[in-house]
Structures are given as structure tokens and as C-alpha cells.
Amino acid sequence: MTTAARSASRPVAAPVGDVLYTVHPSPLGDLVLAGPESDVLGSITVPGQRHATGVQPHWRREDTAFTEAARQLDAYFAGELREFSLVLSTPTSEFRRRVWEALDALPYGTTVTYGELARRAGAPAASVRAVGGAVGRNPLTVVRPCHRVMGANGSLTGYAGGLDRKRFLLQLEGVLL
């Protein structure tokens, strides 16, 4: 188990309209960290990320929120952290939950194919496209390591934040030269 799998995940239901967010600089661009409470992370997105909701008008910016998440992200980008330990709240369907748990279990510096991820999530081999869809809608970029999923031939495929960012993260983890 690594990354978000070691997080203290607990169900936290945010009242409609009560979402806190902050913006944190990173090598990937400004990260938007958001969640229902200042210490409960519900999403991390990068500029231009596919399937990201973006900051909504009813969200409230709180620059003192998510300080532990920001600290851990900085340590990860500095090469000093390999596993995140954060409180997460990402309600989803049962299928996506299984795929995201399989993602959470991927060790730092390793990769897996979509087919292997499907197997690890207990999904039939024919569900590779559905697994790819669940990976692409991961709301916790970097923390939930969807960048560690590769094409069947080892190619860099599908990353909602863009392939340049995926390449950067895999280089940071020593997977790519």
C-alpha cells in the first residue's frame, strides 16, 4: 500500500455550497486544492485538467486551508516524500472506488497497465475502457497516482493533466529517464 492508501480516508459529506479551496504553486502549475473542511481533501487539480470542475462560484477561498496537503506535496516534488498521509473525501460509485483503491496501492516508482489495474480492482479484462474512464476522473491528481498507469505496450497514454505532466511525475519517481 502506498500513497493515498495510507491516508486516513473517512466519509465526509460536504453541505452543498460549502467547499473550501486554496491555490498552491507546484512544478505542474498552480494546484487547486479543495474539500469540505480545511483538513479534508476532496480534489487536487492542475490548470487545464480534463474532467475537473474548476473553482465554482459557491466555493470559498481559504488560503490557510490544506496546509498539511501543501506541505506533503512540496515534499513529494522535492523528492523527500513517497507516500501521502492525508484525510481524503472522494465519494464515488462502487466501481470507481475499487479502481481508485487499486490506484492507491501502486507503489512509488512503479507502473501498471490498465489491464493489470482492472485485474487488481476485481474488474473483468473487458472493462479496460471503463477502468480508463475511472482513472481519468480521479479527483486527486498526484496524491492518487493515476500517472503510474501505462498503455499495454508501456506507452504514456491518457493523463487528464496532460502527458507532459505525466512524464514529469514519472521522471520524478525514477520510472523514466
Q: Which residues are catalytic?
A: 146
Single-letter amino acid code for the residue at 157: T
3 state SS for the chain: CCHHHHCCCCCCCCCCCCCEEEEECCCCCCEEEEECECCEECEEECCCCCCCCCCCCCCEECCCCCHHHHHHHHHHHCCCCCCCCCCECCCCCHHHHHHHHHHHCCCCCCCEEHHHHHHHCCCCHHHHHHHHHHHHCCCECCCCCHHHEECCCCCCCCCCCCHHHHHHHHHHCCCCC
Beta bridge partners of 31: 24
Phi, psi (deg, nearest 5) at residue 111: -130, 165
Closest CA to 131 of 156, 113, 110: 113
